[in-house]
Amino acid sequence: MTRITLALSKGRIFEETLPLLAAAGIHPADDPECSRKLIIATNRPDVRLVIVRATDTPTYVQYGAADLGIAGKDVLLEHGNAGLYQPLDLNIARCRLCVATRDDFDYAAAVRPGGRIRVATKYINTAKAHFARKSMHVDLIKLYGSMELAPLVGLADAIVDLVSTGGTLHANGLKEVEEIMPISSRLIVNQAALKLKRDLIQPLLDVFQNAVTGA
Ligand code: ATP
Ligand code: MG
């Protein structure tokens, strides 16, 4: 039997993907928030889910360990597009990628061309490209989480991070000073799998497309 594997991360992406799966008649057998299983069966014997770290989703799909995946544009920009077909913006897990600083930091003065700024982020490539476009020198410091702390303890002048409500920034005395881009999650498909398993994958793409456009 031919089978397809869809890679998802826990949290927002999983939750906001459930209605899309339901539209395709796919219902997971377990909830990854409760279960410790990393491979989750569905009501369809030819469809299974694998639960991966959000930043790892493109890697699983690129190598064909998963045929499809759902990943944020933030993650896809950092990872690059090698081996990945990106047919659909699912418009889920929406937020924005921003520059934020301490409330008392004069960002407007810091961003002049030729200026220098120290930025902490997990989005090294995207941040580098952003400040290069502004003709600025940037010292990048790679972090894996709790970015908001960095400007408060003098590790960096600014952070590049995802913001949705701004609540976390505000709670830590930070302000959003620039939006780099809006973010949403995209469907990604392994290019070889799309050719070899088109019978299974194409109907799923069609249902997702209709669910997204409200058709
Ligand atoms: P962790 O937070 O456990 O370290 P993570 O940061 O890798 O893991 P999430 O925070 O669950 O994972 O984010 C996964 C994806 O969800 C992100 O890549 C992004 O596209 C999206 N996302 C992150 N934060 C938000 C947010 N505040 N609002 C909406 N979508 C978000
Ligand atoms: Mg997170």
pLDDT in tens, 63-102: 999 999 999 999 999 999 888 999 999 999 999 999 999 9
DSSP H or E run through 68: strand 68-72
Q: Provide the 8-state DSSP code for 65.
A: S
Which of 159, 162, 168 to probe ligand 1 with, by most ligand atoms within 8 A of CB?
162
CB 59 within 8 A of CB 11: no
- In this prediction, residues 18-25 reach a mean pLDDT of 97
| pLDDT for 82 | 87
Give residue 95 CA to ligand 1 midpoint distance, Å.
Answer: 9
Residues 43-66: pLDDT tens digits?
999 999 999 999 999 999 999 999
Between the CA of residue 173 and those of 54, 71, 124, what are the distances in Å? 27, 30, 23
Decide: 135 and 148 in contact? Cβ < 8 Å. Answer: no
Question: Is pLDDT above 70 for 215?
Answer: no
Domains of the chain: 4-94+183-213 (3.40.190.10), 95-182 (3.40.190.10)
**Average pLDDT value for residue range 125-151:** 97
